[in-house]
Amino acid sequence: MKERAKAFAIKAHEGQVRKNSKAAYVTHPIRVAERLEKAGFSDELVSAAYLHDVVEDTPYVIEDIEREFGPQVAQFVAAHTEDKSKSWKERKQHTINTVLHADREIKCLIIADKLDNILGLEEDMEVMGNKVWENFNAGREDQKWYNSSIVAAMYHGLNEEATPAYFNEYEQAVKRVFD
């Protein structure tokens, strides 16, 4: 299932590139999936990581994911898919609320995604400086609010043993980028 999900993501994101670089977009979901696999998560969650941006950023719909990968993978992807008809702030508030109230697997998927994004942003800042913010829908202060709010919400409902080490890695990266 994981290899099929990876191949599906590669096909779906073909021709797309990351915001501040010329890197193929699919490198992002691949890194997110690899982080979850390394942390020992289920094949369904790792597959959802490969597919987490497909519905948001390609012509595919959630029904395509369910048909190809089953209801569990589709549920994970749907929980992490933003409604692009809403404003940036509304979409981000929804993600914050999802992180606050979601079960462990969905939290872990979202934080693995956010960690990869913030590490990429950190690298881009080293090269581009503050020009990096010009490529985002929201500026530095809004991005700081969003990422700091995710950090504040992500531990809710998890005990120390249930919290992957990369949660702390994300928290530290947010501090480095915004403080």
| Catalytic-labelled residue, pool 57, 66, 122, 169 | 57
- Measured in degrees and rounded to the nearest 5, phi and psi for residue 24 equal -55, 135
| Series of mean pLDDT values for 10-residue runs along the chain (179 residues) | 96 86 88 96 97 93 96 95 91 96 96 96 88 82 95 93 94 95
Q: Which CATH class is domain 2-178?
A: mainly alpha
43: annotated active-site residue:
no
DSSP state of 24: B
Q: What Rg do the C-alpha atoms of the chain give, in angstroms? A: 15
Confidence (pLDDT) at 84: 86
* Amino acid present at 164: P
Confidence (pLDDT) at 86: 92
| Catalytic-labelled residue, pool 56, 64, 66, 122 | 56
Domain range annotation of the chain = 2-178
64: annotated active-site residue:
no
